[in-house]
Amino acid sequence: MASDPRLQTSLCGIPLRNPVLAASGTYAYAVEFEKLVDLNQLGGIIVKGLSREPIAGNPPPRLWETEGGMMNSVGLQNIGVQAFVSEKLPAIRKLQTPVFANVFGYAAEDYLEVVRVLEDAEGIAGYELNVSCPNTKHGGIFFSSDPALLAELVGQVRKIAKRPLIVKLSPNVASIAPLAKAVEDAGADAVSLVNTFIALAIDIRTRKSRIGAGFGGLSGPAIKPIALRMVYEAAKTVKIPVVGLGGIRSGEDAAEFLIAGASAVEAGTANFWDPQSPLRIARELGKFLKEEKIANVRELTGTLSLNR
């Protein structure tokens, strides 16, 4: 696919061939998808979450298809940062597409150790911090729901991270604005939102949850209207770029997020049905720009006029 100049943009100073990235947890460690899609045509790839040590993940079943999307409870299964550097990064380095490492932990020390290891390795364009985890050292308080705790974490990571730092915010909060502002003030280069909504699906015959771990994260088209609202609120609060995600499955969906204030978007759940979704979404977005006679996708960002 030839590069469409209308789609060319950047995120945190990193040039992107288009503003559509593959979301964390939906494209494994990128290289596993090389036979299914031309990885060098993607706007960017965010690998599945990396932790300090390997994690086996949650018991099955881990996925449940809902009427408007999908629930998942993979449990952040991953090979650990050391194995990622030795086994996956050599192939990732050969890609032309920017690859971001999603990082998570259960205490600040976990995040810091993962970033330290990655800082000593080549091949990563930047970091996306998944802060939707409970802080085990603070009684299980979620990083994502406490602005002070979140700012402390981001500030510590910022001190050691030389690469761009994106913080992925959770929608399971009363208000997104103070969290986005806390992240910006702590030194983040961008925010991405939204992560999944905590949800429950029940088998009425067994009277048990359809997810092995009980609750799961809801994603897909069902959450898009709420995600759009939160992206708009975050973009109105901060000056740093916002990356929007939540139910994006078409070029028009992507355009909505950009108009709401996003500078780039991530496709996630759609990838489970079609791994080439990010490429198709980018093509459709390019077609929309052509039809609307818009010279560059950056012109869409933040152009929403609320009916008030």
Residue 204 lies in a domain: no
Residue 175 lies in a domain: yes
Q: Which domain holds residue 285?
A: 9-57+75-197+220-300
Residue 140 lies in a domain: yes
Residue 23 lies in a domain: yes
pLDDT of residue 138: 58
Strand ranges inside 58-210, DSSP E: 63-66, 69-72, 99-103, 126-130, 134-135, 141-142, 165-168, 190-193, 197-199, 202-203, 208-209
What is the residue-level pLDDT of the chain in tens, covering all 308 positions? Answer: 568 999 999 999 999 999 999 999 999 999 999 999 999 999 999 999 999 999 998 999 999 999 999 999 998 899 999 999 999 999 999 999 999 999 999 889 999 999 999 999 999 999 999 998 765 565 556 788 889 999 999 999 999 999 999 999 999 999 999 999 999 999 999 999 999 999 999 999 999 999 999 999 999 999 999 999 999 999 999 999 999 999 999 999 999 999 999 999 999 999 999 999 999 999 999 999 999 999 999 999 999 998 76
Residue 103 lies in a domain: yes
Residue 112 contacts residue 129 (beta carbons within 8 Å): no
Q: What share of the chain is helix, strand, coil (3-state, %, to 5)?
A: 35, 20, 45
133 included as an active-site residue:
yes
Residue 121 lies in a domain: yes
Residue 121 contacts residue 85 (beta carbons within 8 Å): yes
Alpha helices in 71-138 (DSSP H): 81-83, 89-92, 108-119
Residue 176 lies in a domain: yes
pLDDT of residue 263: 98
CATH assignment of the domain containing 271 = 3.20.20.70
pLDDT of residue 1: 54
pLDDT of residue 98: 98
Domain count, the chain: 1
Residue 44, number of CB atoms within 10 A of its CB: 23
Name residues whose C-beta falls within 8 Å of residue 103's C-beta, 6 or more positions apart in sequence.
49, 50, 111, 114, 115, 118, 127, 128, 129, 130, 157
pLDDT of residue 292: 97
pLDDT of residue 139: 57
Which residue of the set 76, 133, 245, 260 is catalytic? 133
Rounded distance between C-alpha atoms, residue 89 and residue 130, angstroms: 20
- The single residue listed with the structure tokens 């364009």 is 125
pLDDT of residue 140: 54
Residue 210 lies in a domain: no
